[in-house]
Every structure is written in structure tokens, then in C-alpha cells.
Structure 1
Amino acid sequence: MSVVHILDSRDRRLNEAGLWIAKLDKGLSKDDEKSLQHWLAVDAENREVFLQMAEMWDKMDMLSRLSELFPKTPEKQRRPVRSVLAIAASVLILTVVGLWGMMGISPDISGKANISELAVVGGIYETSVGEYSIVTLPDGTELVLNTNSLVRMNYTDQRRILLLERGEVHVKVARDISRPLSLFAGTQEIRAVGTEFNVEINSDQKIELVVTEGKVLVGVHQQMTKDETELLLVNLPSSTTSVSEGEAIILGSADEEVDEISPEEIAVKLSWQQGNLIFRGESLAAAVDEIGRYTTVEFVILDENLKKLRISGLFKAGDVDGLLTTLEENFNITHTFGEKGNVILSSS
């Protein structure tokens, strides 16, 4: 049986704009240009949304090639992060899951990153694959846990300790000057008073930190315990790195430098909070790896050249069926199903 999510007019417009951006990235034929011109002329909001999507995906330079459609391409302007996130959050993709039923396969491909009841045992906050959860801690600090993540908490009157053991978490710290909050990930300590930041432990155990508001201090410890109670006794190292709003750093990398990150890039990085994944020219292999974080379905790419194919578009986290449809329609990538229910991708 198929499940169809009906799109309202704005959702449909945003979805159509996203598809046009993907086509633009590949290159438009003359017929495509005419169709795009007609779509833009039908409704002024189509043009507005299209330009917003082009800016978010950093494709404004491509529009200069379509001078007859965009004779005066507006200069790229920075938007507040929340505004750009709102655009991404509005886009929904039509999901049809009937094919999986016919194949006798039952992975979770509903297209929804479920907000679950967190498993809270002795200060443990955990999500499984395909889930994301929001929790408010006793002091008012808000955690948003991404798929397959685990955070341990321990609060006292003097310290607020979080230990990220796996996955990704966005932290909105309740301000309390007398009781700073420290998040530990690996050997890294991130110290904050009242700020917002995002931390991800990636597949090679590097720590990616993005600060979206305020400032944090980062210090590295030579040895680290995984006992959150013992962490209450750990002091921030004397040598620290300051990371401020609009900056990011890969902790534990060979070239550990603080880099500026645009509001658009932050919106892309945090789009998982709306259940979305945005790709802006990543390789198919990298895109499949990221999508794989949100589903138990295993992807196999047999062609080495196909792994390098650049992918652009917006996908629902965990929506395997929507991904396969988009890959086939927009990138000529077909799929078959293996005996164990895995998905084998190949060029058509």
C-alpha cells in the first residue's frame, strides 16, 4: 500500500524550486530553460522561492548564465540562520513506499525522523537510528539529539557536565555564570555559559564543532574518563581555543583551525533538525554515507566513477524511497535490491 503526503501550495512550490536547482546543477537543455522561464512567470512567488533556494545551495553564480531569466541577479546577502532554516523546514517530498512492500522488505523508510520518547536512566539521553529527540534539562538547557546519539548528564550546584558518547547534539545552554556547562567528547572539553553550539562525532572519530550563538572555549585533555561523575572533578586546560558565533572547527584533525561558516552553511549543517538533508555538490559516496546514518538500509555502489558523481538536492532524512526516485529521475542512477535487502546503485 502506498503512503502519500499531500503537499500544500507553498510546500509544492519549494519542492519544485529544489528540483529546478538540482537540474540547474546538471545543466539545463533549451526545453528546460523554456519550462523554467514559464514556471517563474506563472507566479512571482516562484521566482522569490527559487532565488532563496539558489542562495541557500550557493548556486547564485549559475544564474548568471541565464541572463534572459535573471537579468539582474541580486547580490548574495546573508540571512539570519533561523530564516534560512525556516525555508529548508518547509520543503516536503512526496513519499511512496509501496514498492518496498511488494519486495517483501520492511526497513524504516517512512521519510520521518521520529521524535521519540527519550530513554532517560540516571541522566542518559539516547536516540536510535532514524530518531531525533528534544529534551529540556533541569536548568532549562535544551538538547536536540540527532540519529543514533547518546548523551550522559551530571549536574551539581557547581558544575553542569554533558558527555557525548556518540552521534550529534545541538545544545542551547541556559545562562548561569556561576555554574558553567562543559560538554565532553573524546578528549575534548567545550565550555560554555549561555550559548548555542552543535557537536558531532563523525565516522573517523573527529569532533566537528559549530557555534551558532555566543562563544565557547575548547580545551583538550591528555587522558579522559568516560565516567560523567569523575568529570565533575576535571578542570578546563589552561590552554584553550575560543570559537565564536559563525565559526566552526574540526577537533582532533591534523589542521585544527577555526574557520568562518556562513549562515547558509549553518542552515545546511543543521537541516537535520527539520528532518531534512541538504547536499550541495557532495559526491554520491559521501551523500549515501550521510543518508545511511538515518536508516538501517545498506547502500552499495559498485562503480568507482559513480561514487564521485556530484549530488545536489534536498532529501527527507530516512526517506530511502524518495532518494532512489530522485537519483533515477535526476541523475540517471538505477537501483536493484540484494538478497539481504541492501540497495545496489549503478548507472543506467
Structure 2
Amino acid sequence: MSNVHQFTSKDLILETACNWISAIDRGLSKDEKEQFTLWMMQSNAHQDALYELAHLWDEISVLNELSNLFPHRNSKQPKKRWLVSTSIAASLFAALMVCSYLLINLENGYSQQLAKVNYTKIYKTKVGEQATYALPDGTIVQLNTNSLLEVAYSKGRRQLLLNRGEGRFNVAKDASRPFSVMAGNKSFTALGTVFNVQRNTSSDLELVVTEGKVMITDPSVAVDASDFKAYQSADKNADKIRQINANIVASGEKAVIEQSITKPITQLSIDDVERDLAWQNGMLVFNGEPLSDALNEVSRYTSTRFKLSSEELASIKVAGVFKAGDVAGLLESLHTNFAINHERQGKHTVTLTQNTKS
């Protein structure tokens, strides 16, 4: 349960790589060699960062900046040559040391460990953009507007992190590598599944399952292949599910999580499913929502923001089908059906008022 993959930003990877090059240059202790080996075998991105920085090492301006940002850990052995013309020799030495350690790792059988990390990538969409991606295992991911997804596949697990936005996951079956999507402070594990996760905030999430089942847990619960079949066949009342405080959501059901608390699972009608997932066809469907809620949803797909002139206007119930991002069409429909007028204030703000004339 402790080998959950940690998602690391590029900036943090580069910072760590700088620290390792500095440490290699002054000499690694036995413990540091082990830590360096483990860090290098975690991801190809770690190796790429080391090589990139090694190539930059002979740029004296970069070298000086690195020496300021990442000073030597061992102050008893200062290296004056960082700031002098012998920096090129230092760069070659550091690069050779990096290569030497990589070769040692391979000779000691670490190549097999490195091979466990099969795939890592970041996918993202802009405001108003939707995109579909095929992952190496055959899983299809469709991202909604303004979404950010990190993917990390290893030999024993497929883990994804939805940093923001919304995604639909058509999961390729592979019992040897469980598939989990982490969003906010929840983890959604596919049990042979097509499902949709919407992240509103870190503690407010929505899950809609359209095929199979999904198990909701805390992110600290890592599902291994040995556990997968038991979870897959378990129902929501099984002891194994209760032990990890999990919830099971089946096809045609929806889970709403508010303030980190999973509300009672609800059964959806076909119309409910079509409305919740209309974005996958580039559409928005409203069926009696308050105008304020409908406009908040519209705003996810555009830079336009709406100001309502009154609480009465905000509470008007609206219904209809709109193309995501089509602000002009929405405003025209509001004017035609509800006598709601609009006025643009600046480039991205629209004020709405209701015509009360008889």
C-alpha cells in the first residue's frame, strides 16, 4: 500500500536533478548512492533532467546561478572552481559521473527496475477546448474544457491524477495493473469500467459510471493486482469494502462528493446520464436549473462572465440544449424565450436584465 506513485512537477524534478549533480560533483556517500539510484529508476523524466542539466553545465552563467540556488550540502568541502574558468572541466566531470552511475545501475540489474515505469505524460486542454487521447494500453481518455491530467503507468499499477477539470475514462481491461484516477482527496478505481469524473474543487467532485463499477476510496488506498479481483466481485456491503471505508458505484449511478463527504449514491435515468455527459458531444443540456447555475456551467467553456441584475432573474428555471462555448446563441435564446436583455461591459463581461415591459 505504500508504493503509490508520487506525481512530481517538472520544476521539482529539475530542482532535484540540480541537487544530484551538485552532490555527484563533490562525491556521493553510500546512502546517497542508493537514494540516487532509486530516484533515477522512478521515471524517464528524472533521467532526461539529469542529461539536460549536464549539457548545460558548461554554460558559466547557468553554472553560477545553479551554485547560488543549490549550494553544496557539505560546507566543509567548498568548491571554488564553480566560479572560474575550469567550469568546463567540472561539467565534463559531472556528466561523466552521471553516466558512470547510470552504467553501474544497469550492470547491477537496475535496468529491469527502470523498465517498470512504462509511461508518464501530462495532458491538458484550454478553456473551451475538448480533446480525446488514446493511452498506450488502449484506454481512451476524453478531457473537457480547462482540464489537466497526469498519467503514470508502472508495471503493477496505472495511476492518473486529475488536477483540474473533467474527464471520461474508457478503461482497457488489465487485472494485473489496476486503473485509478485521483482527484482532490478521493481516488476512483475502475473495476472494468467507463466512467466520468468532474473535479469542481479538491473536496467537491462528481462521478458518473456508464459501464461496470468504480470504487471510491481515499488516495492512500492503493489497489494492487492481488486485491483487484476481490474488489471487483465485492458489493458495497462486503467486509473488504467496509474495511477501507470505500463506496461502490455501479453503471447508471452517480456519486456526488461535497466537502470530502460522499453523498448517498443515486440512480440516474437515461435522460439524467445524457444531460450530465452531454459535454462529450460538445453540448450543454439544461432541464430546469436556475439561470445562475446554468450560466456558471456555460462559463466553464468560455472567458465570458455573466452578471445578473437581480436574485429573481438568477432563480429563473431554464431548459434547452446549447453548444458549449456558444455565448451568442445562448444570449439570443434567453432574449427570445425569457425576454432577457444583455449588455456587454468590456471584452469578457455580460450583464443580464429582464425586460419587464408588457
Normalising TM by the smaller chain, what interval? 0.5 to 0.7
Deviation at residue 252 of structure 1 after TM alignment: 4.0
Q: Note if contact 2:191-2:212 (Cα within 8 Å) is conserved in structure 1.
A: no
Give the aligned partner of residue 290 of structure 1: 297
Deviation at residue 339 of structure 1 after TM alignment: 3.2
Deviation string, structure 1 residues 237-276 (Cα, Å, up to 9, x no partner): 7231111001111124456211111121011111111111
Of 317, 325, 333, the match for 1:318? 325
C-alpha separation between the residues in 2 aligned to 1:187 and 1:343?
Answer: 35
How many residue pairs are counted as aligned between the two chains? 220
Deviation string, structure 1 residues 213-249 (Cα, Å, up to 9, x no partner): 001111124x79xxxxx999xx997231111001111
Q: Note if contact 1:179-1:193 (Cα within 8 Å) is conserved in structure 2.
A: no
Determine helix, strand or coil for the equivalent of 2:300.
helix
- Opposite residue 244 of structure 1, the aligned amino acid is A
Q: Note if contact 2:211-2:250 (Cα within 8 Å) is conserved in structure 1.
A: yes
* Superposition pairs of residues 207-218 of structure 1, within 5 angstroms: 207-218=205-216
Deviation string, structure 1 residues 117-158 (Cα, Å, up to 9, x no partner): xxxx95100001000000010000000000000110000111
C-alpha separation between the residues in 1 aligned to 2:340 and 2:201?
Answer: 26
Q: Note if contact 1:333-1:345 (Cα within 8 Å) is conserved in structure 2.
A: yes
Of 182, 188, 213, the match for 1:190? 188
Of 165, 168, 174, the match for 1:167? 165
C-alpha separation between the residues in 2 aligned to 1:262 and 1:341?
Answer: 36
Give the aligned partner of residue 200 of structure 1: 198
Give the aligned partner of residue 283 of structure 2: 276
- Opposite residue 242 of structure 1, the aligned amino acid is I
C-alpha separation between the residues in 1 aligned to 2:202 and 2:148?
Answer: 17
Task: Identify if the C-alpha distance between structure 1 residues 141 and 332 changes in structure 2 by more than 3 Å, giving closer, same or farther.
Answer: same
2:341 paired with 1:343? no
Determine helix, strand or coil for the equivalent of 1:249.
strand
C-alpha separation between the residues in 2 aligned to 1:311 and 1:329?
Answer: 12
Of 125, 128, 133, the match for 1:127? 125
* Superposition pairs of residues 289-308 of structure 1, within 5 angstroms: 289-308=296-315
C-alpha separation between the residues in 2 aligned to 1:306 and 1:323?
Answer: 15
* Superposition pairs of residues 1-348 of structure 1, within 5 angstroms: 123-202=121-200, 205-221=203-219, 238-253=244-259, 254=261, 256-348=263-355
The two structures have a TM-score, normalised by structure 1, of 0.60
C-alpha separation between the residues in 1 aligned to 2:147 and 2:329?
Answer: 24
- Opposite residue 328 of structure 1, the aligned amino acid is H
- Opposite residue 163 of structure 1, the aligned amino acid is L
**Which one has a bigger Cα radius of gyration?**
2
Q: Note if contact 1:173-1:193 (Cα within 8 Å) is conserved in structure 2.
A: no
Deviation string, structure 1 residues 199-226 (Cα, Å, up to 9, x no partner): 00125741101110001111124x79xx
Name which structure has the greater RCO, CA cutoff 8 Å, separation 6+. Answer: 1
- Opposite residue 285 of structure 2, the aligned amino acid is I
Deviation string, structure 1 residues 34-78 (Cα, Å, up to 9, x no partner): xxxxxxxxxxxxxxxxxxxxxxxxxxxxxxxxxxxxxxxxxxxxx
Determine helix, strand or coil for the equivalent of 1:323.
helix
C-alpha separation between the residues in 1 aligned to 2:318 and 2:276?
Answer: 16
- Opposite residue 294 of structure 2, the aligned amino acid is A
Task: Identify if the C-alpha distance between structure 1 residues 255 and 199 changes in structure 2 by more than 3 Å, giving closer, same or farther.
Answer: closer
The two structures have a TM-score, normalised by structure 2, of 0.58
C-alpha separation between the residues in 2 aligned to 1:339 and 1:144?
Answer: 33
Determine helix, strand or coil for the equivalent of 1:179.
coil
Fraction of identical pairs, as percent: 41
Over the residues paired in the alignment, what is the CA RMSD in angstroms? Answer: 2.3
- Judging by fraction of residues, say which structure has more helix: 2
Q: Note if contact 1:301-1:345 (Cα within 8 Å) is conserved in structure 2.
A: yes
